[in-house]
């Protein structure tokens, strides 16, 4: 199985504060890789770095064997799309307009409107129903679907999802994660998932990492980490040793 993303010795700072400290990990093509950790562990910084939105202070990030481009638009056109924490859709723009913005990095944007748009609306039928509504009038779950749909409009090879369950009702979380699994299983889309809900993150993951205060402290399959007593005690709320 080929490695799509390889991170080696990555460190990142905000001023004098170290957010990522010598992080090394890899993501296999066609897999879902999850990263769990507490607030402030550096998860969002890692996602921003992979998406080209945060400078690499030291270390390397290789995507399909090549260093990441220096600009976000080139990272996106190269095959990496980020669904940011908090969704960050454009509230005043319609669903259609939000989705169109996802094609900005594509040279074949006209073709994108002809084919990819239909695929996204088929994946998320509720977006078709809300097609001409402003994004701000959608429910939280519908906005999350819109954010994912916008990222898919760029035809990514690697879809990065930062806290997709944040602020959503349990039934909507299940629906969103079902779509993530569907994208992976039916379309072979590689997914990097940062998620504070460790149960969900490990349940869907082929492989997973624990990020703790800027360092990778554990790695393995999703099942292996879910069965690890330290992970159970710290992230899954399971009391061990009784």
- pTM here is 0.92
Q: How confident is the model at residue 102 (pLDDT cuts 50, 70, 90)?
A: confident
What tens digit of pLDDT does each residue of 180-237 get?
A: 999 999 999 999 999 989 999 999 999 999 999 999 999 999 999 999 999 999 988 7
Which value, in Å, is the radius of gyration of the alpha carbons in the chain?
18
Fold category of 30-53+69-235 in CATH: Rossmann fold (3.40.50)
Residue-averaged pLDDT of the chain: 91
pLDDT above 90 (res 67): yes
Residue 108: the pLDDT is: 65
Q: Helix, strand, or coil here: 55?
A: coil
Specify the range with the lowest mean pLDDT, choosing from 114-123, 159-168, 232-241: 232-241
**Mean pLDDT of all residues in 126-150:** 94
Could you tell me what percentage of the chain is helix, strand and coil, using 3-state DSSP and rounding each to the nearest 5?
40, 25, 35
Residues 6+ apart with CB under 8 A from 38: 196, 212, 234, 235
């Amino acid at each position: 199985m080929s490695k799509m993303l390889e991170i080696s010795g990555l460190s990142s700072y905000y001023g004098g504060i170290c957010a990522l400290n010598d992080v090394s990990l890899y993501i296999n093509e066609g897999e879902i890789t999850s990263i769990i950790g507490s607030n402030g562990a550096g998860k969002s910084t890692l996602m921003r770095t992979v998406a080209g939105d945060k400078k690499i202070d030291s270390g390397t990030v290789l995507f399909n064997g090549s260093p990441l481009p220096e600009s976000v638009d080139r990272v996106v056109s190269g095959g990496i799309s980020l669904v940011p924490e908090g969704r960050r859709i454009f509230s005043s723009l319609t669903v259609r307009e939000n989705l169109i913005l996802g094609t900005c990095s594509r040279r074949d944007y006209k073709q994108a409107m002809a084919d990819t748009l239909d695929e996204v609306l088929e994946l998320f039928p509720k977006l078709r129903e809300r097609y001409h509504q402003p994004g701000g009038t959608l429910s939280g779950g519908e906005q999350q679907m819109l954010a994912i749909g916008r990222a898919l409009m760029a035809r990514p090879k690697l879809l990065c999802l930062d806290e997709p369950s944040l602020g959503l009702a349990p039934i909507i979380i299940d629906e969103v994660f079902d779509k993530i699994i569907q994208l992976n299983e039916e379309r072979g889309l590689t997914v990097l998932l940062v998620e504070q809900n460790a149960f969900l993150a490990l349940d869907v993951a082929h492989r997973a990492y624990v990020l703790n205060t800027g360092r990778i402290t554990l790695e393995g399959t999703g099942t292996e980490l879910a069965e690890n007593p330290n992970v159970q005690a710290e992230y899954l709320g399971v009391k061990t040793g009784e």
